């Protein structure tokens, strides 16, 4: 009798298993923006931070620093945002405290986030980016509204999802396929701090011939680091993230004057109005992003167009720039009008008013104050599809 035995000698060193450190509840604002509550250094105040994979560090708002009576150290370093470039000062070697987790040795740069506070109607005290996210495995559960910080180590991803393999530097770039007049494969910034579906640079859109020439474009005002910018809103046929396809996706196109999208390396960014439809695990150490469709996956996109942006300024809800040719302009709204109520809702809640304007093909009634006089207008919110 002849027998053969096959033996494979294989050994490898592995990291200890990852373990969860803390579960932190989060709030969501317009477009899926995530707000985390934390404390800075030894101050007792609870602050509002935006979780942002599009940030290469961690930062605090200039008015928050003034409130704390702190003086940051000037530097020659600059940050680049969608609407400008500016030099920043720092508070070095500081700490951030969540309930159940403290993160130390952080260098906070200081920026003016007043525009973000005005847009979201809540005080934005800072942004949490790469400086914190890169230290942990971070799990985002949009069903339970929880962020879990876990130690680095071996991890078994849950079944039923898909493993993305983006490029990690201080920012995250992910290959995606977008389809309209043409089908284009390109890299896009993975930006959970952007409250939109996708944003393309005008150079990318034109050079790739992505958009149908007959696509109607709608004038919109956007806000980001550095201030306000003019953009165009339209719809494309399809966006593919891994194996998952989204159809009739609203996208913005803008003139990337400050090259924040690093074209031609990237075509633009993918924001959280798409990514909130997945539960996400970010593993910076391994270079992994694991996504699993959640209960928001099939929710409709926002196709509304009113032509007016609302801001909360000094406790007053104010109409911003009114787009030319928009329903709001045709109705007679003007920049600076103080909005008191929409559709019999006089709560003075900015988020509720914004939701009221996100009703395509529905008529809305806006009550406002102009030069001390109470006025009202009616107009129909348009659909961009």
Per domain, the residue ranges of the chain are: 21-150, 167-276, 304-383
Question: What pLDDT does 80 receive?
Answer: 85
Architecture category of domain 304-383 in CATH = Roll (2.30)
pLDDT at 330: 97
Of residues 260 and 235, the one with the higher pLDDT is: 235
**Cα–Cα distance for residue pair 256/271, rounded to 1 Å:** 16
Q: What is the token pair recorded at 245?
A: 């396809």
* pLDDT recorded at residue 41: 98
> Model pTM?
0.93
Structural domain 167-276, CATH architecture: Beta Barrel (2.40)
CA–CA distances in Å: residue 111 to residues 45, 81, 88, 331: 19, 11, 7, 37
Distance of alpha carbon 39 from alpha carbon 60, whole angstroms: 11
Q: Is the pLDDT of residue 3 over 60?
A: no
Q: What is the pLDDT of residues 51-92, one digit of tens each?
A: 999 999 999 999 999 999 999 999 999 888 777 788 999 999
Kindly give, in sequence order, each residue whose CB lies less than 8 Å from that of residue 209, ignoring residues fewer than 6 positions away.
Answer: 181, 182
C-alpha–C-alpha distance, residues 272 and 190, integer Å: 9
Which pair of structure tokens corresponds to residue 26? Answer: 């989060």
Task: Tell me the pLDDT band of 232, cut-offs 50, 70 and 90.
Answer: very high
Question: What's the mean pLDDT in 358-362?
Answer: 95
- 221 pLDDT tier (thresholds 50, 70, 90): confident
What confidence tens digit (pLDDT) does each residue in 137-190 have? 999 999 999 999 999 999 999 999 999 999 998 899 999 999 999 999 999 999
The more confident residue out of 40 and 4 is: 40
Q: Find the mean pLDDT for residues 315-344.
A: 96
What is the structure's pLDDT at 8? Answer: 58
- Span between the terminal Cα atoms of the chain, in Å: 76
Contact 52, 130 (CB under 8 A): no
Which residue has tokens 């929409």?
A: 342
105 Rama class: left (phi>0) / alpha (psi -120 to 50) / beta? left
pLDDT band at 225 (very low <50, low <70, confident <90, very high): low
Q: What is the pLDDT of residue 10?
A: 63
CB atoms within 10 A of CB 15: 12
Give mean pLDDT, residues 222-236. Answer: 84
Give the strand order in the sheet containing 146-150. Answer: 20-25, 146-150, 137-141, 278-283, 288-293, 162-164
CA 63, 311, 32, 171 torsion: positive or negative? negative
Q: Is the pLDDT of residue 204 over 80?
A: yes
Average pLDDT across the chain, whole number? 94
Q: How far apart are CA 383 and CA 377, in angstroms?
A: 19
In sequence order, the 6+-apart residues with CB closer than 8 A to the CB of 281 are: 137, 138, 139, 140, 155, 157, 288, 289, 290, 291
pLDDT of residue 79: 87
Residue 36 banded pLDDT, cuts 50, 70, 90: very high
DSSP 31: G
Q: Give the pLDDT confidence score for residue 1 in this predicted structure.
A: 46
**Burial degree of 219 (CB within 10 A; 0-12, 13-18, 19+):** middle
Q: Is the pLDDT of residue 269 over 90?
A: yes
| Percent of all residues in the chain with a pLDDT value above 90, rounded to a whole number | 88
Say yes or no: do domains 21-150 and 304-383 share a fold. no
Nearest residue to 268 (alpha-carbon basis) of 184, 341, 324: 184
Bridge partner list, 49: 36, 126
Question: Please, which residues have CB within 8 angstroms of residue 327's CB and are 6 or more apart in sequence?
Answer: 305, 306, 307, 379, 380, 381, 382
Exposed, middle or buried, 181 (CB in 10 Å: 0-12/13-18/19+)?
Answer: middle
> Is residue 305 within 8 Å of 233, Cβ to Cβ?
yes
CATH level 3 topology of 21-150: Cathepsin D, subunit A; domain 1 (2.40.70)
In this structure, are strands 20-25 and 227-241 parallel, antiparallel, or unpaired? unpaired
CA distance 162 to 157: 9
């Amino acid at each position: 009798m002849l027998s053969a035995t096959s033996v494979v000698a294989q050994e490898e060193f592995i990291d200890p298993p990852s373990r969860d450190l803390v579960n932190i509840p989060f709030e969501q604002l317009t477009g899926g923006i995530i707000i985390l509550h934390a404390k800075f250094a030894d101050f007792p105040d609870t602050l509002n931070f935006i979780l942002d994979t599009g940030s290469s560090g961690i930062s605090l708002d200039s008015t928050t620093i003034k409130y704390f009576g702190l003086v940051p150290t000037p530097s020659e370093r600059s940050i680049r945002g969608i609407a400008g470039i500016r030099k920043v000062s720092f508070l070095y070697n500081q700490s951030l405290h969540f309930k159940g987790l403290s993160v130390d040795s952080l260098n906070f740069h200081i920026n003016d986030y007043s525009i973000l506070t005005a847009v979201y109607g809540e005080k934005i005290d800072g942004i949490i980016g790469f400086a914190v996210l890169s230290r942990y495995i971070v799990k985002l559960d949009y069903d339970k509204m929880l962020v879990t910080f876990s130690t680095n180590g071996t991890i078994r991803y849950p079944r039923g999802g898909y493993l993305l393999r983006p490029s990690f530097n201080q920012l995250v770039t992910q290959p995606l396929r977008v389809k309209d007049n043409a089908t284009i494969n390109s890299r896009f910034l993975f930006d959970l701090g952007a409250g939109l579906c996708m944003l393309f640079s005008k150079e990318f859109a034109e050079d790739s011939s992505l958009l149908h020439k007959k696509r109607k474009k709608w004038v919109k005002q956007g806000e980001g680091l550095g201030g306000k910018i003019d953009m165009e809103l339209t719809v494309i046929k399809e966006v593919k993230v891994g194996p998952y396809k989204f159809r009739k996706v609203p996208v913005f196109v803008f003139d990337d004057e400050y090259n924040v999208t690093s074209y031609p390396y990237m075509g633009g960014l993918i924001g959280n109005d798409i990514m909130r439809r997945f539960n996400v695990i970010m593993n910076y150490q391994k270079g992994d992003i694991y996504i699993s469709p959640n209960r928001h996956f099939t929710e409709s996109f926002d196709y509304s167009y009113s032509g007016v942006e609302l801001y909360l300024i000094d406790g007053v809800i104010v109409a911003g720039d009114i787009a030319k040719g928009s329903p709001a302009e045709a109705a007679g709204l003007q920049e600076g009008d103080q909005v008191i109520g929409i559709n019999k809702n006089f709560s003075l809640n900015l988020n509720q008013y914004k939701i009221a304007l996100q009703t395509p093909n529905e008529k809305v009634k806006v009550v406002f104050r102009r030069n001390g006089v109470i006025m009202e207008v009616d107009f129909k919110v348009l659909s961009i599809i």
